[in-house]
A and B are shown apart, each in its own frame.
Chain A
């Protein structure tokens, strides 16, 4: 199965770090791990992606396990604007983006 596994929901307080986990135990060696987020009433937007090593950008960090069977999206300081559904996705087989149901992140002031 190409889908990844994520918790349905998580909560955080503003200004605190958030670690969003994802399991992708059937990943193959050439599959990239992508993270997207969807704000209310908008289309998904790209957050970050990686293959083997950890990645950083202005939005977040991505930590990929050594065996690549799991990864963690890290938001270093959550803000109210980070409240969204976060999707962890692997590019699979014919290069399709297959979405799971994602993690709904709530951020409290």
Chain B
């Protein structure tokens, strides 16, 4: 019954490393989104994609990039990880205005 899968539940990376967070959905959805969640700030939108090879900036894109080479996969890239990027990262997908599906989240710690 898996719908949105994030490659890792927990990651620990060093400052300056390039980090890839992978998200795969099996519902053939066109829309995919990356959020980060921090205590007291709720979920904030980083990037989203409406189609293959298309991407749009969300509210907090600085320090991040994304890649969508295939419809089912949406990758979030931290070009040079910093400690202020320690957070919970959530991927989601949906179609039209119906139910959105979220992954379990990746808790990233940058040391």
A binds B: yes
Contact residues of A with B, CB < 8 Å? 32, 34, 36, 41-46, 49, 87, 91, 94-102
Which of A36, A87, A95, A101 is in CB contact (< 8 Å) with B97?
A: A95
A contact residues around B101 at 8 Å (CB): 46
Does B98 touch A at the CB level, under 8 Å? yes
Given A95-B31, A96-B33, CB of A42 within 8 Å of CB of B42? no
Range of interface residues on B (Cβ < 8 Å): 20 to 34
Are the C-beta atoms of A34 and B100 separated by less than 8 Å?
yes
Are the C-beta atoms of A42 and B105 separated by less than 8 Å?
yes
Chain A residue at minimum C-beta to C-beta distance from B50: A95
Contact residues of B with A, CB < 8 Å? 4, 31, 33, 35, 40-45, 48, 50, 56, 58, 90, 92, 94, 97-105
Which of A41, A42, A46, A96 is in CB contact (< 8 Å) with B48?
A: A96
**A95–B98 CA distance with the chains assembled, in angstroms:** 11
B1 CB to nearest chain A CB (Å): 13
Which of B43, B44, B45, B98 is in CB contact (< 8 Å) with A44?
A: B43
B30 CB to nearest chain A CB (Å): 10
A43 CB to nearest chain B CB (Å): 3
**A100–B59 CA distance with the chains assembled, in angstroms:** 13
Are the C-beta atoms of A97 and B92 separated by less than 8 Å?
yes
- Can you give 28 contacting A-B residue pairs, CB < 8 Å? A32-B97, A34-B100, A41-B105, A42-B104, A43-B90, A43-B92, A43-B103, A43-B104, A43-B105, A44-B43, A44-B102, A46-B99, A49-B97, A87-B43, A91-B97, A95-B31, A95-B50, A96-B33, A96-B45, A97-B33, A97-B100, A98-B45, A99-B44, A100-B42, A101-B40, A101-B41, A101-B42, A102-B42
